[in-house]
Each structure stands twice: as C-alpha cells, then as structure tokens.
Amino acid sequence: MRPTRKIRVLMGKPGLCGHDRGIVLVVMALRDAGMEVIYSGRHKSPETLVNIAIQEDVDVFGVSILSGGHMPLCRRIVELLKAKGAQDIAFLVGGFIPPEDIPELKAIGVREVFREGSTLEDIAECVEQIAKERVTA
Amino acid sequence: MDLSRITDFAPLDELESAETHWRQQYRDDIVAAEAENAACEDGIPLKILYGPSDNRSEFLTDIGFPGEFPFTRGLDPTGYRKKLWTISHYAGFGSPRETNALFRRMIEHGGVPPYMALDLPTQLGYDPDHPMAQNEVGLTGTAVASLRDWEIIFDGIDIEKTFVGTVINAPAAVFLAMHVVLAEKQGADLRKIRGNLQNDILKEFTARGNFIFPVEPSLRLVTDTLEYCAEHLPSYWPISVCGGHFPEAGANRVHEVAFAFADAFTYIEHAIARGVDIDAFASNMFFLMKTNHTDFLEEVAKFRVMRKIWAEHLREKYGAKKLETMKCKVLGHSGGSLLTRERPELNIARTTLACLAGVFGGIQLIGLRTMDELFGIPTEKAELIAIGTQHVVAYETALPQVVDPLGGSYCIEALTAEFEAKVLEELDHIARIGGMVKAIESGYVRKAIAADAYETHQAWQTGKKIKVGVNKFHIDEDEPPRRPYEFTPEAQQLQIEAVQQLRRERDNIRVECALDRLRDTAQRPACSDTNLMPPIIEAVRAYATIGEICGVLRSVFGEYAEPTNL
C-alpha cells in the first residue's frame, strides 16, 4: 500500500493575466486545509506549468484565468498533460468563466470549474475528494 | 490644545466634565453597546461618541486652512467652487485604427480622449507574434507594437493640444519615446506636450502583476523617464503612483496608503540621487487611489491624511521649496472588488457613497465603476448611470459649495490623527526592514496583502462582514447576460501581419545599430550619462518594435522572479 502523504497541489497562473487575488486565497485555504501547495507565480506558459505539475508529482493542478483566454489555454494544458502521459493529474480551472463555457471545458477534460461565487470551503472539499479518488484509483 | 483661542465653544475642561457626566448618566447603555467591538477593517477602533477630548491635533499646525501647508483641509482655498473634481470615465477599444476613430470622435465632440488601455502583450513587452502573446492580442485594450501603431492612433490629432494618458508601466519608457518622436514629427513643442504614463512599476510587483525586469533596473527606467521629463517635457506627468491596486488585491486601507507612499518615496529618492531637482518633477506626480464606501468615515480621513503626510515629507525630508510640489493630488476610483453580482442595482448605491467619500475627502478626480462591471464590458446605459451619479452629487447636493465640510468634526479629526499615526508606523516598519525594494523582493508586501485579503474573505464567508445581497438580504434572481472580452483570431492575425510587414519594410541595419547602442548603454552603470531615454528614442525612431526593445533590455537586465512564499 502506498504510504499516506499530504495531498499535493499545483496552483498556476497561465498566460499574461496578472490578477491573482483569487488564486492566492485558494492557495492559503488549501494550505490551511493541510495540503502541500505550490504556487507558480504569474506569467507562466502552459508548457512550464505542466512540467512543474509532473516534476512535483501533484495530485491536483488548478489554474486561475480572468482575462477571457480560458478556452485556448485550457485546451493547450489538457493536450500537454495527455502528450506527457500525465492525464491522471486532475486539472481544475477557476476565474471569470461564463457559465455557457462550462460544458465545453468539461468536455475537453477539465475536471471541475469554479466561478466567482465559489467558496473556499467548496474548493478545498472538492480538491480533497478528487485527490482521494486518485489515490484509491 | 486651547480651543478657546479659535472658537467660541466652552473651554475644554468644561466640555470634558460635561462629557463625563453624560457617560455617567447613560453608563449601562454605553457599556452594553461597547460590549461588541467596532473597528475599521485595518483595526482602527470606532467609538460610540467622539468629543473634544479625542482630538489630539493642533488645529493650526496639523489641520489649518485649505490651500495652506500642510493642506489637510484641501489643496485649494476655495475647493470645488473654483474647480469641480474631474468626472472621469473609462472606455475600451480594439485596433490602433479603431482607437484613432474613437479619439477623433471624442475630440470633435469637445471631450478629451480617455486613458488608453493596452493589451497584455504590449504591457509585458511582447510583439503580437511572440508565443506568449498567443490568444491575447487586442484582448484587454489596444495592441501597440511600434511607432507605426502610435502614428496610426494619432493620425489627424494634434498632440500639442491633446492630453494623452496611457496605462503603461513596465515598458513606459518606450511609450514616452514614441510620444516624443511623434511630437517631433508633428513639429510640436515638447515643452507644451501634456499627457501621462502610469509608470508605477513597484505596484506591478506587489499587486497588479504586469512586470518584466527585476526591481532595480525597473527603477532605473522610471528614474530615466523622470529625469528626461524634468529636462525636456515640463508639462508632462511622467508617473501616477497607484495605491488603489492594493485594496483591489485585498489590502486594508492603512496598507493602501503606506505602500503607495513607500513606492512614491522610493521613486523620489532615486531621482534625487540621480541629481534631479525635487521641484522639477514632484509636482507632476499624482496618486491614483480607491475611494470606497466601506468604513466611510475613515475613507474621508484617509484623503486628508494623505495630503498632510505628503506635504510634510516633501518639505521636511525631500527639501521641496515650491508649494505646488507639496500638494498631494489624488485621483479616486471606486473599487470593483466591493461590487456584487447579486442584486447588481445596489452597486449604484455603493458607488454613490464612494463618490461622497471622495467629495468629503476633497480629491481632484473621481471615477465610478458601473453597476454591471462584474459581468464584463459595461453597457452604455450603465456607463451613463455611473457618470450621472456624479452629476447628481455635483449639482443637486450643494456639497461642492463648502470646503472640507467634515473638518473640525470630533470624529473625523480623531480618525485623521489615528489613521496618520498608523500609516507613519507602517512606513517606519518598511524603513526598518530595509526599505521598499527589500520589502518587495522579500515578499513582505505580497504577504501583507494576502493576509489582509484572507482575513476579509473569511469575514465575508462567516457573515462577520456584511455584503448586502450576498451574505444578507439575498434575493434569488437571474443573472444579467455576460459581456466578456471577445477574442477575435482575425484581429490578432491582422496585428501579426502588420508587425511582420513592418520588419520587412524598415531599414533593418538602422534598427540593429540602434538596438546595439541601447544594449551598450543598458550594460553600463545607471547615471545621467547612461539615461536610457536617448537610445530608446533612437530605436523607436528606427521603428524597432516594443518586443525588440524590451527583448534587448530583458537580455541585459533579466526578468523578475516573484516571491511565491505567501
């Protein structure tokens, strides 16, 4: 049996959008919930983020996008995760996401979408749930 | 304090004993009411009642009269009677050609062009065909890749007669250079050119996020623009110091003001060290702050405190001689982060109160967010409501007739003194940990803002702080439709083709020489002789692109690695 370890999470800011109040709150809340959280800092390319996710062996990889560029960025990240055989890392997105984009995001392989009204408790609970499923899978 | 010297009120000891008597009489009520602590977000307590004993200020030296040092009561002796605050608004646009059409229309109708919003690749020094620019070109504002785009934007517009404001920070020196070259081409007198760069790079590292180079070379670029403008463009405002981005990132009000001043003083100290005369540039600096409705009374006190601290520091610490240099000019915008998607019409009430806080605070410009901003690009109707709200405050309330109408209030003067003490304490703390550059690089500022943001967020989630329509008085309603920025691949392709065509058509040997000279200068230590403005101007004149110019500077200075130890 795999020894129990802390849930490992990468939180990333892909693209050029600099707004990070939301992602910083999520980082702090996940840490308060006892998880190991890596924050990438801003202006990271999808390639850089996917490489960090793999090197750091994370269970969950979340990104925050408020610029409106979430569709192409998420598509690229999912492609890269697949190309590198890391599709088992659960990929989540949060930010300024219009509700009508959610079905398409889920269809391409985004595990969960968090919009502006999501609470930190909801996010932490969801990340924990997903990580547990991954360990038992 | 001898109040009898300046008022006809009863002497202080008589008032104090009357207050003691009042407290005795209502003792049980007061004790019960005080059981729950009331305080502003930054911890400054709110008392049930303020009286003469709360005022520790010396009326004549600390508060004084409007138009006189230290300007606590206002910059001008007759306040808004002489000149109403500027009613500002925001506008967005697409390509350089569309921006030109919008500017021309606004000028024809007697208006001034709005502050120019730029897309993220431009703000981060990438050309439209750079891989990092993919899917971002033209998304949050105009895409400007070179002098050619600047020429298109101002085609048919006389820039000697037009104030041009640009929201640009990391590559601000390149935009100043484009404006200088365009002025020369139009035959304009540089000394008369008016306009403004945001150019406040320090808050990009800690709040807004559009940084390129490390802190010290970034400060060198700011100092170069300040020195260049002091010498050649005396009517141009080379920098607006932004405090308002801190509360939008979550900071409390003391941090908003302390970090803005710490940034401003850092720019001043660099310019003075370069040998620039304080009176030749500091009067062209101003502050872009939030005016918010929360902790309303403290917000009014904040603006009074800013004027006092600025005036005293500029005169005593930085040796300003001209009164104009000591005047703290404040532009205030209401904050989007305090608006709600739930019951969005209530945002009109919030921004009306935000406007009042700015007016009681005596600031120079007010801009209000639209009620629908949280749903994307504002509708025209919401824009007109935001401007109309200010018209109601300006023309129906008679508030502009009285200068500093809350001045002398026991409460406002007590909050002014307490807020000032808190800001000075934070400034001292920053000095003790090695100054603002260290405070940024060590992650101190980011951590402080994140802690404030977390505390506020928890207070909203637990209901300790109330957001009407969200955690109290909620009504189930359908959300209005969203109007997000629409990314158009065709528009991006046009910008990519335009910059590639430019690279084919221009004199590339001249571009290479100019970029080589820029690299050589950047590699030498910073001083007046190695001011980067002249080589940047030469590169711009040769139609080097923003990506190429910033690329050279990236190769010499490196890129900023932000602390992620939150």
Nearest CA in chain B to A17: B120
CA angle centred on B499, ends B166 and B532, rounded to 5°: 50
pLDDT at A65 over 90: yes
Note whether B57 and B44 are within 8 A (CB): no
Q: Does B337 touch chain A (CB under 8 A)?
A: yes
Domain presence at residue A125: yes
- How does pLDDT run across B455-485, given as a tens digit for each residue? 999 999 999 999 999 999 999 998 888 787 7
pLDDT in tens, B110-135: 766 667 889 999 999 999 999 999 98
Q: What angle do CA B348, B353, B358 make, to 5 degrees?
A: 125
Q: For the whole model, what pTM was predicted?
A: 0.95
Residue B313 tokens read as 């520091």
The alpha-carbon gap from B136 to the nearest alpha carbon of chain A, in Å, equals 7
Better-scored residue on pLDDT, A37 or B564: A37
Mutate to test the interface with B, among A11, A16, A32, A116 (most CBs of B within 10 A): A16
Binned at pLDDT 50, 70 and 90, residue B3 comes out as: very low
Beta carbons of A16 and B454 less than 8 Å apart = no
> What's the rounded Cα separation, in Å, for the pair B342 and B483?
16
- Kindly report the CATH number assigned to the domain that includes residue A112: 3.40.50.280
Q: Return the structure tokens found at B71.
A: 């300007």
Q: What's the burial of B288, exposed, middle or buried (CB within 10 Å: 0-12/13-18/19+)?
A: buried
Q: Determine contact: B372 vs chain A, CB below 8 A.
A: no
Q: Tell me how crowded residue B188 is: count the other CB atoms within 10 A of its CB.
A: 18
Please state, in angstroms and rounded to a whole number, the distance separating the CA atoms of residues B385 and B513. 53
Domain spans, chain B: 62-462, 494-557
Q: Which residues of B touch A73 (CB under 8 A)?
A: 135
What is the rounded (10 degree) CA torsion for B274, B276, B278, B279?
180
d(CA B436, CA B443): 11
Which domain, by its residues, includes A99? 8-136
Q: Which residue of B has its CA nearest to A71?
A: B135
Look at B487 and A27 and tell me if their CB atoms are within 8 Å: no
Distance of residue B120 Cα from the nearest chain A Cα, in angstroms: 6
Confidence tier at B173 by pLDDT (50, 70, 90): very high
B475 vs B2, higher pLDDT: B475
pLDDT digits (tens, 9 = 90+) for A42-57: 999 999 999 999 999 9
B103 φ, ψ (degrees, to nearest 5):
-60, -45
CA-based nearest distance B343→chain A, Å:
14
Q: Please give, rounded to a whole number of angstroms, the shortest distance from the CA of B450 to a CA of chain A.
A: 7
Answer whether residue A1 is part of any domain: no
Q: Is 90 exceeded by the pLDDT of residue B88?
A: no
Pairwise CB contact (< 8 Å): A21 & B250: yes
- Tell me if A40 and B564 make a contact (CB, 8 A cut-off): yes
Q: What's the CATH code, domain B62-462?
A: 3.20.20.240
B399 φ, ψ to 5°?
-60, -40
User: In what helix (H) or strand (E) does residue B355 lie, and over which residues does it extend?
Assistant: helix B346-361
Beta bridge partners of B197: B166
Answer yes or no: is pLDDT of B142 > 70: yes
Report the alpha-carbon distance of residue B141 to residue B262 in Å, rounded.
29
Domain count, chain A: 1
- Tell me the CB-side half-sphere exposure of residue A42, using CA atoms within 13 A: 27
Q: Which two tokens stand for residue B439?
A: 């405070």
- What pLDDT is stored for residue B37 in this prediction? 84
Domain-located, residue A36: yes
